[in-house]
Structure 1
Amino acid sequence: MNIPFLDHWRRRHGSDYAETLATAVRNDPEGVGELLSECELLRARASQAGLQLDDSPASLGALDQLPPRWRDDPEELPWLGNDAGLYLGTVIIRTVPGAVWDVWPSGQPVVRLASGREINVVEAGLDWAVGGAPELSQVYAEASEA
């Protein structure tokens, strides 16, 4: 995953990517959360389809209903899937009590629920972008019930 703001931080602190992201999440979870929530490509494609993403669970259902035109562009597909996962994580963090961003040793951002369960939202977003399943709203529903 490419998070540009971390490049400068990493050079200054001489850390590897996973350590850098984990440190940033611990030190400034709200700031990192804001950066992870940008999802510019997904927001642009949704807007082109007439959908304004408002970081609500309902917006995940609306995304699930969009025609998957992004599948026509193999170069854009992984970027859009990554954004979809980060957007899913953003919605979970903002609406499910106790949910927080965490980082696996690989550097993969995940959502950790209050129960301790971790959701690899980026993987879920990529699966959704490529094949349509699981639906983003389904992953959210499971997270909100945990």
Structure 2
Amino acid sequence: MNIPFLDHWLKRHGSEPSGSVDSASAEAFDRDPEGRAELLSECELLRARVESAGVALDGTPSSLQELDQLPPRWRDDAEELPSFGNDAGLYLGTVIVRNVPGARWRLSPDVGPVVLLASGREVEVVAAGQDWAATGSPELSQVYAETAEN
């Protein structure tokens, strides 16, 4: 899986990017939980698009509800839609990691960044964000609520 923003992070943390997630990249990623959380919370495209609608992405579950209520204008741009969905998933993961006890980021060689819950369950937040951006379902706040219950 190619994760372009990961290359910059790996360079800053002493690993050579490979263009795909391999075990060495995953290990480097897992060694720095604070850097990992900072990197994945950036979500620049999402932040830029929702700021004009007055939505503050403050890392709270209520911000997910606000995102769910926005008119899906991002669907008008087929080229931007995958990146927007990716950012939505990363933001969803950020909210989960900040608010659900024991939740943390993990880099899966198969799917990229996932959220690992204290129960051992993995949540593929990027896939959820892409589904939400493309179809509106499942709602981000719903994914969060289901995750917070486990």
Structure 2: 5+ residue runs without aligned partners? none
Q: Give the 4+ runs in structure 1 shifted more than 2 A.
A: 6-17
Distance (whole Å) between structure 1 residues aligned to residue 101 and residue 14 of structure 2: 35
Give the TM-score, by structure 1 length: 0.92
Alignment of 1:8 with 2:11, yes or no, is yes
Instruction: Count residues with an aligned counterpart.
Output: 146
Post-superposition offset of 1:2? 2.0
Q: CA RMSD in A?
A: 1.9
Aligned to 2:94: 90
Q: Note closer, same or farther for the CA distance 1:20–1:73 as it changes in structure 2 (3 Å cut).
A: farther
Distance (whole Å) between structure 2 residues aligned to residue 100 and residue 46 of structure 1: 25
Check whether the contact 1:24–1:32 (CA below 8 A) recurs between aligned residues: no
Alignment of 1:74 with 2:78, yes or no, is yes
Check whether the contact 1:101–1:110 (CA below 8 A) recurs between aligned residues: yes
- Of Structure 1 and Structure 2, the greater helix share is in 1
Structure 1: 5+ residue runs without aligned partners? none
Letter in 2 for 1:84: A
Q: Note closer, same or farther for the CA distance 1:7–1:75 as it changes in structure 2 (3 Å cut).
A: farther
Deviations 1:86-141 (A, max 9, x none): 00000000000000001212251100000000000000000000000000000000
Q: 1:125 aligns with which of 124, 129, 145?
A: 129
